[in-house]
Amino acid sequence: MKVILAHSDASTRRRFAQWLTSANHVVHEAGNVAAACSLVSQGADVVIADWHLAGGGASFVKYVRSLDAQHRHYLVVTCGRALNHDITAVVAAGADDFAITSSVTQAEMLARVDGLKRARASAAIVGGSNKSVEFGPLFDLDKVRAWRDVDAIIASELGEQLGAPLQAVVGPSSPVAYSGAISLSLANEKIELQLGIGIERDMVAPFGAALLDGDTSEATLADALRELANVAGGAVKRGAVNDGVSFTIGLPSNAMVCDLPDTRSWYATTSSGLRLRITAIAWASVPRSVRRADLREGMVLASDVRNAAGMLLVTAGTYLTSTTVNGLDRTLDANTPVEVMVPMSGGTS
């Protein structure tokens, strides 16, 4: 396939170009937006563009999408590392897929470029090669064992981290006092997963004693729960590879999804009574418009939120906390539409 490779860093460009040419792709390289636009105007099958391309990666992505009526390029966007707001912005700008420059492997990059073949095959099945097809959240997550069995995987991994076996137990829950969360993305399928690890108020002291030498300061608890979420996410990512699924993992945060209807929620408990609240949710990376009054903690903003004067309030990709929701309550009318990402079974298909 003909591939345009637009990246400002020459060594990264060389590395990607070697990978692609070794798989018999014909690669044309550009180091800035002007050169990339010139190449794209001549047409290609796939465009790989860096989000931070000199001259403006976001502008270039928009330019490529503006050519869709004449020729639709399959667009893979790279960014330095997996930050949730970057990934959301990349997908929202029109990328078909993305890769994290700092961790992408040759096999992963080639698989992402081959996404074009899969898209073409699906288009042919659905409506013939001349028909434009919107690729929705059709991926069956249940075929990924690491996701299906996520409760057992987390119990095993976190049990090792805590030095005590954990059991997965379903039961009524209380609000968490502290939490950590990690996102895993399958951008080609427009799916994002989130795993959350939380502790309720009565578990703060036992958690501190078990893991933190008794330190229960807010910063220490937040850091520890981020790391537990990171370990859990890594285990799911490694497990998914066995099912041929390659997730991109983000950096851990402290915004855990708890109370949405499609959230799977359970406890991981030790025999000594330590109890971690675990949540797992799959999102379709397809924005949905909701009223400001319907915003809830844990939702993810799909686009920037501005006030009536156009002033930026919260950026796309933000996981809403109760503080953010309350802030928007005070700033925006209840009926103001806000674009958010919705859970997989939330009726987006």
Partner 1 sequence: MSGKVLIVDDSALLRRQVGAALTAAGYQVVGATDGVDATTKLADVALIVCDINMPRMSGLELLAELARDTVTQRIPVVMLTTEGHPDLIQRAKTLGAKGWLIKPFKAELLLSLIGKVLA
- The interface region with partner 1, picked from 29-37, 55-63, 225-233, 335-343 by CB under 8 A, is 225-233
Examine residue 13 and tell whether it contacts partner 1 (CB under 8 A). Answer: no
Site string for partner 1, 21-60 (x = CB under 8 A): ----------------------------------------
Examine residue 7 and tell whether it contacts partner 1 (CB under 8 A). Answer: no
- The interface region with partner 1, picked from 41-49, 130-138, 201-209, 222-230 by CB under 8 A, is 222-230
Give the angle 344-140-284 at the CA atoms, nearest 5°: 25
Site for partner 1 in 85-114 (CB under 8 A): 102-103, 105-108
- Cα torsion 333, 302, 299, 204: sign: negative
For partner 1, how many residues bind (rule: CB under 8 A)? Answer: 32
Which pairing describes strands 74-79 and 46-50: parallel, antiparallel, or unpaired?
parallel
Cβ 206 to partner 1 shortest distance, Å: 16
Per the CB < 8 A criterion, the answer to whether 262 and 343 are in contact is yes
Examine residue 157 and tell whether it contacts partner 1 (CB under 8 A). Answer: yes
- The interface region with partner 1, picked from 44-52, 140-148, 154-162, 313-321 by CB under 8 A, is 154-162
Work out which of 193, 231, 340, 342 binds partner 1, going by CB under 8 A.
231
Work out which of 14, 62, 71, 81 binds partner 1, going by CB under 8 A.
81
**H or E, element range at 167:** strand 167-169
Cβ density class 293-307: b for 16+ within 10 Å, e for less:
eebebbbbbbbebee
Work out which of 78, 185, 230, 270 binds partner 1, going by CB under 8 A.
230
Per the document, the length of the chain is 349
Work out which of 114, 149, 200, 227 binds partner 1, going by CB under 8 A.
227
Examine residue 8 and tell whether it contacts partner 1 (CB under 8 A). Answer: no
Examine residue 188 and tell whether it contacts partner 1 (CB under 8 A). Answer: no
Contacts with 262 (C-beta within 8 Å, 6 or more apart), sequence order: 281, 282, 343, 344, 345, 346
Which two structure tokens, joined as six digits, stand for 5?
Answer: 């490779």
Pairwise CA distance, residues 243 & 260, whole Å:
28
Pairwise CA distance, residues 173 & 268, whole Å:
12
- Strand partners of residue 6: 30, 49
Give the angle 297-295-99 at the CA atoms, nearest 5°: 70
**H or E, element range at 265:** strand 264-269
Examine residue 234 and tell whether it contacts partner 1 (CB under 8 A). Answer: yes
Work out which of 160, 243, 329, 333 binds partner 1, going by CB under 8 A.
160
φ, ψ dihedrals at 81, nearest 5°: -155, 165
Nearer to partner 1, 235 or 256 (CB): 235
Nearer to partner 1, 8 or 331 (CB): 8
Site of interaction with partner 1 (CB under 8 A): 81-82, 102-103, 105-108, 157-158, 160-161, 211-213, 219-220, 223-224, 226-227, 230-231, 233-235, 237-238, 241, 246, 249, 251
